[in-house]
Structure 1
């Protein structure tokens, strides 16, 4: 299944989930949720993609529900510290947590991180940050093929920086090696921003990063390829992997989860609120300008989405285990 906003948005509408959500905000609160401020936990440091997009959501959530949203950072172990604590919170929908796939698939598959993928009760996925390979503006790599040629001729010499171990960037580096035959050395950093700093400082050859970092860095960098179905509006001169002959569309899929035991009607209400936020033209414009791809994966579609992603990642995960 191609993961696009249209695919999941139309499916949600056909189920009737979105109709009430997009009409009257009072219907969203028919089950009495939320009744007070909502604590929105981000498992990473402030300023990263998860934090930025939560703050994009915040004013819309507050306008729709009439309740405040408190954004709290709980960084550690590439998100694992917070995700392992998720089910210890009160299951009433007033503590919600940012989640990321493939992190929550890859981490427990690689080692004991205090949670299993099945422990994360996602209610909605609202965007993905497309994979992108970014180099310094004065890099000798003028194209993706230049980088592939060097990495193929000199296995392991080309260094890719990324956000942590057993994360989306780590997995994308393995996927890149598989689809091109070019082996780079992956160097984990504490976030996507520190990896980009290393690119700009010349400490690493490239970043296996996201479109958002390419947009943010502007003329200081050259983005060689992006993992989207069509070119990114904010990076119009950058080709997609597909254009270059590689079947790769994906990145870090961000969603919202609640503790296990949260009542089904509250989960559905929260999913509907997030769907309504995604439908806001102002929210879409913010996301697009920053390099994000908005998608609608509501509560009813989440299990199938997770299984699809697990199957897609399985070969690369097995290679990482044997590395």
Structure 2
């Protein structure tokens, strides 16, 4: 009797083990939910929609996008680890938001609580002016700022944001004093530039696509010129060491097994290589990255160090 039960148990475990080992390889076998922690229409939504168009081609399953806006993304990120860790619910994740928010105060989560599995792009910071602005080049703006300390005003997407950090960095690199004016998002900050409420804007490069000829981009914080804006110089070309923007990726609940974390990262990486996706992203002013799960610890650690220094410059911490 005991031998029979033992034999049956061994057989059962033998049947289960291969199935468990194959789970990540077979994943997904049903539609997935992709939560965006912001309102529809922003850069996080646009890039996720571009991914959505490719998801079924790569996995054979659809991904359904849902929105959970609130507190600059903190509302959703604070609830991420309460979701099932079966791989079927993923969430958009942004930096520097997820570093600066916990540094600034209690937001219901800590940076180390979150499990990003892939960062697939960033939107570079860029300086914009109205098309009719007196500033034709970045040198024009810098000369004016040197002669008129504090009078150059930059609209930007929120306090303690990538735009805010870029403005602080620009003041240091160019040895000027400018005034950063935070708005509640990309849309309102661009409206401020277009309406003349501020002299310029530190916005994301993607704004140049949506606004057409209404604004002029003076410089972009990328390593190389963007395909969508081949005539716009990088800050590095102009002698300023400013590269970066808002990094966006995909995160999972902390209870998600390691093999599923890697599988989801691999899916995102494969989508990143698909020609239609690349064309849409680059035409939209996004810069593709391929920071997968195996590289995540080092990448996040480097960003935390960078943004912590930025937080000191912003006065968030001492």
Q: TM-score, normalised by structure 1?
A: 0.87
> How do 1:128-167 and structure 2 match up within 5 A?
128-167=122-161
Distance 2:275 2:161 in 1: 31
In structure 1, runs of 5+ residues without a counterpart are: 1-26
Q: Give the structure 2 partner of residue 297 of structure 1.
A: 291
> Cα 1:228–1:245, aligned 2, differ >3 Å: closer, same or farther?
same
Residues 134 and 222 of structure 1 are in contact (CA less than 8 Å); yes or no, is this contact kept in structure 2? yes
> How do 1:7-18 and structure 2 match up within 5 A?
none
Aligned counterpart for 2:256 among listed residues 262, 266, 284:
262
SS at match of 2:203: strand
What's the CA shift string for 1:132-172, capped at 9, x where partnerless?
A: 11111001111112222333333332221111222211211
Q: Between Structure 1 and Structure 2, how many residues are aligned?
A: 297
Aligned counterpart for 2:302 among listed residues 301, 308, 314:
308
1:48 Cα shift?
0.8
1:29 Cα shift?
6.7
> How do 1:33-72 and structure 2 match up within 5 A?
33-72=27-66
Q: Give the structure 2 partner of residue 121 of structure 1.
A: 115
1:28 Cα shift?
9.7
Residues 28 and 269 of structure 1 are in contact (CA less than 8 Å); yes or no, is this contact kept in structure 2? no
> How do 1:197-208 and structure 2 match up within 5 A?
197-208=191-202
In structure 2, runs of 5+ residues without a counterpart are: 1-20
Q: Give the structure 2 partner of residue 94 of structure 1.
A: 88
> How do 1:102-113 and structure 2 match up within 5 A?
102-113=96-107
SS at match of 2:271: helix
> Cα 1:148–1:111, aligned 2, differ >3 Å: closer, same or farther?
farther
Distance 2:210 2:169 in 1: 24
> How do 1:238-249 and structure 2 match up within 5 A?
238-249=232-243
Q: Give the structure 2 partner of residue 79 of structure 1.
A: 73
Q: Give the structure 2 partner of residue 6 of structure 1.
A: none
Residues 24 and 259 of structure 2 are in contact (CA less than 8 Å); yes or no, is this contact kept in structure 1? no
Bigger radius of gyration: 2
Residues 149 and 177 of structure 2 are in contact (CA less than 8 Å); yes or no, is this contact kept in structure 1? yes
Q: Give the structure 1 partner of residue 312 of structure 2.
A: 318
SS at match of 1:246: coil
1:66 Cα shift?
1.9
SS at match of 1:160: strand
C-alpha RMSD of the superposition: 1.8
Q: TM-score, normalised by structure 2?
A: 0.89
1:120 Cα shift?
1.3
